[in-house]
């Protein structure tokens, strides 16, 4: 809630929270390029500031664009935005662009490439099916820590 410094070296990190019920939130975190640790150190959560949190029931490119526009008042135009390729986030950022660089985050990029390369691989399909079954069987037992996490499935609301 505290005021942020207006500057031209902000990097916004944006993503939607996991949907809970009918709502989800667009979270915008920020870090100043001038505040980044030396290159041999890892960026820690203490270096990142919460900039904005926008709860929504519906999200699309126009809504994300408006949320980004509203956030300019807090920090100024960011130098970069780091986000995933979700259709609403991507189209909102592309409309917003101004003098901003859009960076696709490495976690989502890697997952997308891996999914594309393994989508027709039968052993991989069997592995993910069995790991999901195992997770269900052990999630409330002492062995729960051994189970792989569920793969996230997007739910479309019409």
Give the whole-angstrom CA distance, residue 90 versus residue 75.
Answer: 21
pTM, rounded to two decimals: 0.66
By the 10 Å C-beta count (0-12 exposed, 13-18 middle, 19+ buried), 59 is classed as buried
Q: What is the pLDDT of residues 91-127, one digit of tens each?
A: 888 888 876 677 766 666 777 778 888 888 898 888 8
Q: What is the pLDDT of residues 51-84, one digit of tens each?
A: 999 999 989 999 999 999 999 999 999 999 988 8
Q: What are φ and ψ of residue 83, in 5° steps?
A: -160, 175
Give the whole-angstrom CA distance, residue 18 versus residue 86.
Answer: 13
């Amino acid at each position: 809630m505290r005021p942020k410094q207006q500057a031209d070296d902000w990097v916004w990190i944006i993503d939607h929270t996991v949907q809970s019920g009918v709502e989800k939130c667009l979270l915008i975190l920020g870090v100043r390029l001038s505040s980044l640790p030396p290159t041999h150190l890892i960026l820690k959560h203490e270096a990142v500031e919460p900039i904005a949190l926008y709860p929504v029931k519906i999200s699309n490119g126009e809504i994300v664009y408006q949320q980004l526009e509203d956030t300019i008042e807090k920090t100024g135009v960011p130098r970069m935005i780091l986000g995933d390729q979700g259709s609403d986030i991507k189209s909102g950022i592309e409309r917003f662009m101004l003098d901003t660089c859009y960076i696709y985050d490495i976690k989502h990029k890697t997952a997308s490439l891996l999914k594309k390369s393994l989508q027709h691989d039968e052993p991989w399909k069997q592995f993910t099916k069995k790991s999901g079954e195992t997770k269900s069987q052990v999630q409330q037992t002492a062995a729960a820590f051994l189970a792989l996490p569920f793969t996230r499935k997007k739910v479309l609301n019409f």
